Structure 1
């Protein structure tokens, strides 16, 4: 019995202990809950509300660095301080306080000499739009986008289209809508926005002097808020890249500036300003028209910048990092300690270019110096050629052994820093880059008004009657890359190519000679001087008997025209082109993607060939005929409009659209040029349809005689002049000396010379040497790529290079064309000068344009390392372009032992970029 009692006692003790433990736990939990809910309830409620009111804010990722081959930073990131505004959750409170708060913000900015962000395209004094494009059609598209983003179309849709949405309209109805929008003047648009945003009402409560400039300051912010309405919790920039001291002042005042905060954001900086702008390009805010495209690529279109030109644009996917995110409190000050939603920004990849920054500087300096001298000089040469407009030029330096670009210059250049912030361009910058003063340029002499002649109204732009075009390519375009985009007649720099074709085909050899009498019979029949078809080269003089080497060094036009004649007689019109294509001068018209391979956007020129000549002649005939008919050929017949116009597809007569009739007429013209076919009945019927369909001819009497005059003009332009010129021998004669349809970019010309200098290997041109991540890990390395192997024997190369070597040193004979420019330089070089006409000499003289001055070359002459090309628009003669080459060589060979005595002799001081 005692045993049982003892057992029960043990059992009782175990359960008691368990109950006690459980009770203690529940008491502890209850006490904690009581503490949290009663004593700390208000605290945690506030914390919960703070977390729930947090906003997800984008943290911009730094762009990748861009360096030269030696690691010199050409584009980098620096700390930036932006003053931003984010609408608060209480919209009514926002509207009441915004103007008062903005007044305080503007005072701090003004007191500290900071600039308000102004990327608003609508300007005042006078009212106008300033869009960041030179292209008139792009400007028109940007204007329509501006208006539609601000719902200017809503009332038009309501009244004219029964309140349908734009997406529900037909193409013709959309055109009608756009035409209605384009009727609005900038002043009407501006005043409408002031009313919609209630700007004047807001300013009236501030008791300040509401000048037009003050009103616009407030409008800019209101418009930014409106455009940001659908981007929840996204901030807008009010002032960018403000000084650190200014940012601290704002930080101290944020409690009084509801909705405002200072954000740290990396800013793109180009340490050497204009240096290499033609390569680097620039970045800018995402254009509203491209918003959908970039959103699809996970860009934050409210804060992200994108490459807009140059390497910045074409390598955007590598340079752009991955944005991060952070949670920020609604009061715009406190940062939430809970980082569950925080994502770190990942910097973009770094690019190392093949470019040599010091050589780039030497090239830019040398080209700019020679251009400035020509402008001051005004005239050049024995015939006093006008070089006062030598405001544009380009130069390229290539490594001949791998195709790497060591220097690439386009002048005038620009400062990429002008575009890398959202402060907007100044009025002066906007005019310089996008809105040239045509009237001022056309009346530079103050004697004769040439505005309508040099800069006529661009009648090819649909629905436009006021935008002018630069008919003669006169004014300098700062954002245009002349090195990769300009197609220019190559002049005598093409002659080594003609020599190669002649030597390789056997129509000439090392002993072949020709008597240069200072001109050439363009019929190819050996006519004498003074005959109708004798082309005289008066500025060259008579060179006498020359062989291929002396013809290159002394630049004999007749010798190479005779080579062209021999090539044509034996192999036909296309043989010269087939050789030129191997060296990268043009490409077979059947080629799908011709080019040098460079990463930048480029045009690619063409050498004379029969297929391309037909297309070129057809396009030229269309242009001339459109102009003739629009002017009524000086009153010979009533005016006829063949230009494409907005609304042409809306005008229908007898089941046929006006646009279709115009296209059919132009196709007939092209066929007439290419094939020599011409049917008067077909043209007569089409023009009768045109006159019956187009309302502008209503009530106008077109007689049979009028129609006959129109058709006769087309027959003359298309068949006699267009088609008739295709079979004439002068085409290949001109092509043999780099004129006619021969047109190439400076980049193509440098690649052609590099191919000669290295023995016939044409490399793919490239600017990017390697790509690394932000930690320095190699991602990719560019290897040389061979695009073609030219058919050129060692003997041919030696003869051609002997002629080019003599052009700069005049060894073994008379002075070469580049001797004066390069004499005394301690390192032997080879090259070729060139002078190419822009248009007829009398027209050039009237409008103040001169010839293109060319120089191409390589160095050292005995063991080439680099190839160069230089061109100066309106630069006169190639001998002046050769002076640029001297500066380039000084920069490249600065560390060569042979340069020491030369530098002392000529007192050469080369700036070194660190």
Structure 2
């Protein structure tokens, strides 16, 4: 019985095993035979699937009322993803591109062109106006394309660049910089086999046609190390064009139409000085942004303004999807799909209507002034630049901020690239060509000299006198400008608060002032105003009155006494302060009021620059010739060593000596002679030149004359304080600083941190952060002082003493809402130089309104605008916009609506 039982168990187990194998075999047969082709296709689909980045929509930028200033709109990009690298595929690419280009041309679309190497003529166009930055970008361009390989092989025995010494790296860079754009272009054509590829197409290979193919080949090359990343062939194409491509994709291997949100600036140039712009990440910044998680093949980045400083908030989180996301396999497997997260929305303190009114009125006034040509002996034909700001005096919020000329940020928001005219306008001005067109070619070398700070440069010129406008420069936050008479209320505050004057103090204005040593300085255009007190001196802008206040301050409290009061109002800061600013989020310079420490530093820098230019030109200030000496810093200076001393160290020591000579009046002829001899011996550039004792003496004598006699000798003169008291001399501030000073005065002495960002919300409208007013300082100003100063400023617009002689009366005297302010006129440089080069005085106006209960403070400056009374006309347009709902403005309502019909 037992044996039979065991046999039955074994038999049952055997049967089960056979059955299992039969089932598995049948299943395998079914999968491999009946469904084999199906699963093979699925497997191939999965294996060929490639992840692509889905760009996240950028956050919106709106004004205080929600008007969209920067938004996202649907965009369609034609992209190419390289599949394999066989010779057949490379050849096929040219035939495919021929079809692509035909569709683009037939539909009037533009190929993406961010390739910096241009033709007709051969040249590079980099997105920077800084010559040294351009040179660095050129070197990156060349090294990314392996132009260094042959040089390393021939001149450095096959060393890798990382193995070179600093001196050898400089030599390598110098060799690369010898290559002309044409040589570089022709080598790329050979490397990419572009002409061979085009030869098979049977088309007319014009230079422009050849470059179209080169652009794509170069993009593929630069994208080589980003596996499966697509390149843009055409961006922001029309929807109809995208549909044509969609229907043709079966014939266009590797090509795909992708949806990508595009940045759009709804009102073009409006608020460009605040918004800034976005652009593709350039090669110089690629590693930096890759480290932050950016996809440098598709991502854009804020390059200026709010777009740049709020980049981390505005930039969303990219998603991912599969290029074969329409396949059955991928629909079932969504593990590789990641949804893009939109960026946060930034709401500004700007009022778009006020911004538009400010830009429109300022632009109109500039054009009117230009048409005048000459006004009372001042050349105003070059009134091509201006700035204006309006601040909420009780929060520090910026209501409008304008810099003209502006630019259209939409020019930068696609990868089609700037056209030649735009590139030249923004980054590569041809000053020689421009001077010829404007009929000043005889002054080319004087006004636009070759920039000798760039070693070996023989073509790049600089705008020595800042004659032409710079479109991307923010004149509102970056320009340091003498404030002229708009500074006089500040001098009045210092005088009243220090006690050197009071409400009853008077001065007999005889039309000039004794600057010391019996030197009488006349104010011919002003004339004698007679006896004035502090109120009428502000209203009628008496230079002698305020120079006398400056003299009293100096005699009783020293040269820094005026500065100590100005600093409280944000006009400069104690030199010991670290990174002083108004607090605004976007880039700014921060100007300084006259004080002894800053004056020494400024004079040291100015006279060093002058000496460097003299030595480079080989001509002293007294017209004595000598062989040129180069004191400019060069990259290779650290690699050149003589007697154990680097060339860079010798240059630095000479320049430090010069600065000390200006600041302290110290001078050792033997030390200077020794240092210049060391410089000549160390620098290979002087190897075949002979410097005589007379040459060395002429060089050292020029240093002594400029640094000690002129530079240091001017530091202790009393006129520094006198001219500072009327907003001249070293007093230089940005228009933004001036608006903040007036806001501080108008609100009673509270200086707020200036800000543009009101709040940040996520894409669903949830509040992330809200900006609260921040007090930076409380100025020492009594109610009596404020009242007296504002009486004087109110008289500027209403007429001093009830008359019609206030300097802004013509512009604002009949305005229905009372205002206060101050006009100003400040020289750009010496009158004879201004006349020679066609530059005029700065026209200033600062003010507040309403006069009895201020809410808004403004600052306006027109470069080469002549007189502040003209700048005051812009204030009227700004006030019309700001007070549009005030009952007193009813008579202006229709005029206002017509002006601002563009903003909704």
Indicate whether the TM-score tops 0.5: yes
1:704 correspondence with 2:693: yes
In the alignment, the residues of structure 2 paired with residue 907 and residue 149 of structure 1 have an alpha-carbon distance, to the nearest angstrom, of 55
**Which of 189, 205, 215 is residue 200 of structure 2 equivalent to?**
205
In the alignment, the residues of structure 2 paired with residue 447 and residue 900 of structure 1 have an alpha-carbon distance, to the nearest angstrom, of 49
| Equivalent residue number for residue 99 of structure 2 | 104
| Equivalent residue number for residue 3 of structure 1 | none
SS of 1:449 mapped into structure 2: helix
In the alignment, the residues of structure 2 paired with residue 590 and residue 54 of structure 1 have an alpha-carbon distance, to the nearest angstrom, of 61
Q: How does 1:316-355 map to 2 (within 5 A)?
A: 316-329=311-324, 336-355=331-350
**Which of 816, 820, 832 is residue 826 of structure 1 equivalent to?**
816
1:151 correspondence with 2:146: yes
Kindly tell me: are residues 898 and 16 of structure 1, through their superposed partners in 2, closer, same or farther at Cα, counting changes over 3 Å?
Answer: farther
SS of 2:38 mapped into structure 1: helix
Query: Displacement, 1:718?
Result: 0.9
Kindly tell me: are residues 22 and 173 of structure 1, through their superposed partners in 2, closer, same or farther at Cα, counting changes over 3 Å?
Answer: closer
| Equivalent residue number for residue 662 of structure 1 | 651
SS of 1:373 mapped into structure 2: helix
In the alignment, the residues of structure 2 paired with residue 108 and residue 409 of structure 1 have an alpha-carbon distance, to the nearest angstrom, of 42
Q: Which moved more, 1:300-309 or 1:627-636?
A: 627-636
Cα-Cα RMSD: 2.4
In the alignment, the residues of structure 2 paired with residue 672 and residue 333 of structure 1 have an alpha-carbon distance, to the nearest angstrom, of 80
In the alignment, the residues of structure 2 paired with residue 668 and residue 54 of structure 1 have an alpha-carbon distance, to the nearest angstrom, of 67
Q: How does 1:228-267 map to 2 (within 5 A)?
A: 228-267=223-262
| Equivalent residue number for residue 118 of structure 1 | 113
**Which of 527, 550, 569 is residue 541 of structure 1 equivalent to?**
527
SS of 1:341 mapped into structure 2: coil
Q: Which moved more, 1:646-655 or 1:454-463?
A: 646-655
Query: Displacement, 1:33?
Result: 4.3
**Which of 751, 756, 761 is residue 767 of structure 1 equivalent to?**
756
Kindly tell me: are residues 462 and 590 of structure 1, through their superposed partners in 2, closer, same or farther at Cα, counting changes over 3 Å?
Answer: farther
Kindly tell me: are residues 215 and 50 of structure 1, through their superposed partners in 2, closer, same or farther at Cα, counting changes over 3 Å?
Answer: same
Kindly tell me: are residues 716 and 282 of structure 1, through their superposed partners in 2, closer, same or farther at Cα, counting changes over 3 Å?
Answer: same
Cα contact 1:400–1:757 (8 A) shared by 2: yes
1:182 correspondence with 2:171: no
Q: Which moved more, 1:691-700 or 1:222-231?
A: 691-700
Query: Displacement, 1:27?
Result: 7.0
Cα contact 1:88–1:330 (8 A) shared by 2: no
Query: Displacement, 1:18?
Result: 12
1:403 correspondence with 2:393: no
Kindly tell me: are residues 813 and 707 of structure 1, through their superposed partners in 2, closer, same or farther at Cα, counting changes over 3 Å?
Answer: farther
**Which of 840, 843, 866 is residue 876 of structure 1 equivalent to?**
866
For residues 739-767 of structure 1, the C-alpha deviation after alignment (integer angstroms, 9 at most, x for no partner) is 10111111111000000000000000111
In the alignment, the residues of structure 2 paired with residue 448 and residue 219 of structure 1 have an alpha-carbon distance, to the nearest angstrom, of 38
| Equivalent residue number for residue 851 of structure 2 | 861
**Which of 190, 215, 218 is residue 213 of structure 2 equivalent to?**
218
Q: Which moved more, 1:653-662 or 1:592-601?
A: 653-662
Cα contact 1:551–1:803 (8 A) shared by 2: yes
Cα contact 2:73–2:264 (8 A) shared by 1: yes
| Equivalent residue number for residue 490 of structure 2 | 497
In the alignment, the residues of structure 1 paired with residue 874 and residue 601 of structure 2 have an alpha-carbon distance, to the nearest angstrom, of 36
Q: Identify unmatched segments of 5+ residues in structure 2.
A: none
Query: Displacement, 1:161?
Result: 1.3
Cα contact 1:284–1:307 (8 A) shared by 2: yes
| Equivalent residue number for residue 901 of structure 2 | 911
| Equivalent residue number for residue 290 of structure 1 | 285
SS of 2:801 mapped into structure 1: coil
For residues 599-640 of structure 1, the C-alpha deviation after alignment (integer angstroms, 9 at most, x for no partner) is 001111111111111111111111111222233223443433
Q: How does 1:124-163 map to 2 (within 5 A)?
A: 124-163=119-158
In the alignment, the residues of structure 2 paired with residue 540 and residue 74 of structure 1 have an alpha-carbon distance, to the nearest angstrom, of 45
Kindly tell me: are residues 181 and 701 of structure 1, through their superposed partners in 2, closer, same or farther at Cα, counting changes over 3 Å?
Answer: closer
Q: Identify unmatched segments of 5+ residues in structure 1.
A: 1-7, 528-532
Cα contact 1:68–1:74 (8 A) shared by 2: yes
SS of 2:733 mapped into structure 1: coil
SS of 1:485 mapped into structure 2: coil
For residues 793-820 of structure 1, the C-alpha deviation after alignment (integer angstroms, 9 at most, x for no partner) is 0000001111111101115244111111
Q: Which moved more, 1:280-289 or 1:621-630?
A: 621-630
SS of 1:805 mapped into structure 2: helix
| Equivalent residue number for residue 371 of structure 1 | 366
For residues 75-132 of structure 1, the C-alpha deviation after alignment (integer angstroms, 9 at most, x for no partner) is 1111100000011135333212011001000000000000000000111111000111
Q: How does 1:1-150 map to 2 (within 5 A)?
A: 31-89=26-84, 91-150=86-145
1:812 correspondence with 2:801: yes
Cα contact 1:261–1:333 (8 A) shared by 2: no
Cα contact 1:394–1:872 (8 A) shared by 2: yes
**Which of 451, 462, 465 is residue 458 of structure 1 equivalent to?**
451
Query: Displacement, 1:849?
Result: 0.5
SS of 1:891 mapped into structure 2: helix
Query: Displacement, 1:388?
Result: 0.8
Query: Displacement, 1:22?
Result: 10
Q: How does 1:501-650 map to 2 (within 5 A)?
A: 501-523=494-516, 527=518, 533-631=519-617, 632-633=619-620, 634-650=623-639
For residues 277-314 of structure 1, the C-alpha deviation after alignment (integer angstroms, 9 at most, x for no partner) is 01001111111111111111111111110000100000
Kindly tell me: are residues 695 and 15 of structure 1, through their superposed partners in 2, closer, same or farther at Cα, counting changes over 3 Å?
Answer: closer
